[in-house]
Amino acid sequence: QQQVKQSPQSLIVQKGGIPIINCAYENTAFDYFPWYQQFPGKGPALLIAIRPDVSEKKEGRFTISFNKSAKQFSLHIMDSQPGDSATYFCAASMGAGSYQLTFGKGTKLSVIP
Protein backbone atom coordinates (compact mmCIF):
# COMPACT_ATOMS: atom_id res chain seq x y z
CA GLN A 1 0.00 0.00 0.00
CA GLN A 2 2.85 2.34 0.78
CA GLN A 3 4.99 1.48 -2.24
CA VAL A 4 5.78 3.60 -5.21
CA LYS A 5 6.95 1.51 -8.16
CA GLN A 6 9.32 3.25 -10.56
CA SER A 7 10.51 2.13 -13.98
CA PRO A 8 12.80 1.76 -15.78
CA GLN A 9 15.77 1.25 -13.49
CA SER A 10 18.08 2.79 -16.09
CA LEU A 11 17.63 4.65 -19.33
CA ILE A 12 19.96 5.74 -22.09
CA VAL A 13 18.85 8.30 -24.66
CA GLN A 14 20.57 10.43 -27.25
CA LYS A 15 20.77 14.17 -26.92
CA GLY A 16 17.49 15.73 -27.99
CA GLY A 17 15.47 12.62 -27.16
CA ILE A 18 12.53 12.54 -24.74
CA PRO A 19 13.17 10.15 -21.85
CA ILE A 20 10.08 9.07 -19.95
CA ILE A 21 10.16 7.72 -16.41
CA ASN A 22 7.06 6.09 -14.99
CA CYS A 23 5.77 5.63 -11.46
CA ALA A 24 2.74 3.81 -10.08
CA TYR A 25 1.20 3.77 -6.65
CA GLU A 26 -1.53 1.87 -4.82
CA ASN A 27 -2.39 4.09 -1.88
CA THR A 28 -5.23 6.38 -2.95
CA ALA A 29 -4.53 8.59 0.06
CA PHE A 30 -1.37 9.86 -1.64
CA ASP A 31 -1.99 13.36 -2.93
CA TYR A 32 1.39 14.99 -3.40
CA PHE A 33 3.85 13.69 -5.99
CA PRO A 34 7.32 15.27 -6.24
CA TRP A 35 10.23 14.31 -8.45
CA TYR A 36 13.79 14.64 -7.18
CA GLN A 37 16.96 14.80 -9.28
CA GLN A 38 20.30 13.59 -7.96
CA PHE A 39 23.69 14.20 -9.56
CA PRO A 40 26.67 12.02 -8.61
CA GLY A 41 28.18 13.08 -5.31
CA LYS A 42 25.22 15.31 -4.44
CA GLY A 43 22.04 14.93 -2.46
CA PRO A 44 18.69 14.82 -4.27
CA ALA A 45 17.05 18.14 -5.13
CA LEU A 46 13.40 18.86 -5.86
CA LEU A 47 12.78 19.10 -9.59
CA ILE A 48 9.02 19.42 -9.95
CA ALA A 49 5.89 18.35 -8.05
CA ILE A 50 2.22 17.82 -8.82
CA ARG A 51 -1.07 17.48 -6.95
CA PRO A 52 -3.77 15.14 -8.34
CA ASP A 53 -6.18 17.93 -9.16
CA VAL A 54 -4.25 18.59 -12.39
CA SER A 55 -3.29 16.16 -15.15
CA GLU A 56 -0.11 17.87 -16.26
CA LYS A 57 2.48 20.30 -14.96
CA LYS A 58 5.33 21.76 -16.94
CA GLU A 59 8.44 23.56 -15.75
CA GLY A 60 10.89 24.35 -18.49
CA ARG A 61 11.82 21.13 -20.27
CA PHE A 62 10.36 18.95 -17.51
CA THR A 63 6.74 17.79 -17.55
CA ILE A 64 4.81 15.61 -15.13
CA SER A 65 1.79 13.76 -16.50
CA PHE A 66 -0.66 12.45 -13.93
CA ASN A 67 -3.36 9.81 -14.43
CA LYS A 68 -5.43 9.60 -11.26
CA SER A 69 -7.68 6.74 -12.38
CA ALA A 70 -4.70 4.59 -13.32
CA LYS A 71 -2.73 5.71 -10.24
CA GLN A 72 0.25 6.50 -12.41
CA PHE A 73 2.43 9.51 -13.03
CA SER A 74 5.40 10.08 -15.27
CA LEU A 75 8.25 12.50 -15.92
CA HIS A 76 9.08 13.60 -19.45
CA ILE A 77 12.24 15.51 -20.30
CA MET A 78 11.98 17.43 -23.56
CA ASP A 79 15.07 18.03 -25.69
CA SER A 80 17.24 16.12 -23.22
CA GLN A 81 20.83 17.27 -22.74
CA PRO A 82 23.94 15.52 -21.41
CA GLY A 83 23.63 17.75 -18.34
CA ASP A 84 20.35 16.00 -17.52
CA SER A 85 22.26 12.79 -16.83
CA ALA A 86 21.37 12.00 -13.23
CA THR A 87 19.29 9.69 -11.08
CA TYR A 88 15.63 10.61 -10.85
CA PHE A 89 13.35 9.62 -7.99
CA CYS A 90 9.60 9.87 -7.91
CA ALA A 91 7.92 10.12 -4.53
CA ALA A 92 4.52 10.36 -2.94
CA SER A 93 3.04 11.50 0.33
CA MET A 94 -0.34 11.88 1.95
CA GLY A 95 -0.48 15.61 1.61
CA ALA A 96 2.33 18.05 0.95
CA GLY A 97 2.55 18.65 4.68
CA SER A 98 2.95 15.01 5.56
CA TYR A 99 6.30 14.25 7.13
CA GLN A 100 6.88 11.06 5.23
CA LEU A 101 7.79 10.82 1.57
CA THR A 102 7.70 7.36 0.00
CA PHE A 103 10.34 7.22 -2.72
CA GLY A 104 10.56 5.07 -5.81
CA LYS A 105 13.77 3.13 -6.32
CA GLY A 106 15.21 5.57 -8.81
CA THR A 107 16.03 5.73 -12.52
CA LYS A 108 19.55 6.37 -13.70
CA LEU A 109 19.36 8.47 -16.85
CA SER A 110 22.27 8.83 -19.25
CA VAL A 111 21.97 11.30 -22.11
CA ILE A 112 24.66 10.68 -24.69
CA PRO A 113 25.86 13.41 -27.07
CB of 60 to another protein, least distance (A): 17
Among residue numbers 27 through 46, which ones bind another protein (CB under 8 A)?
Answer: 32, 34, 41-46
CB of 62 to another protein, least distance (A): 15
Is residue 1 near another protein by the rule CB under 8 A? no
The whole-angstrom separation of Cα 32 and Cα 51 is 5
CB of 86 to another protein, least distance (A): 13
Is residue 9 near another protein by the rule CB under 8 A? yes
Is residue 101 near another protein by the rule CB under 8 A? yes
Exactly one of 29, 54, 78, 96 binds another protein (CB under 8 A); which one? 96
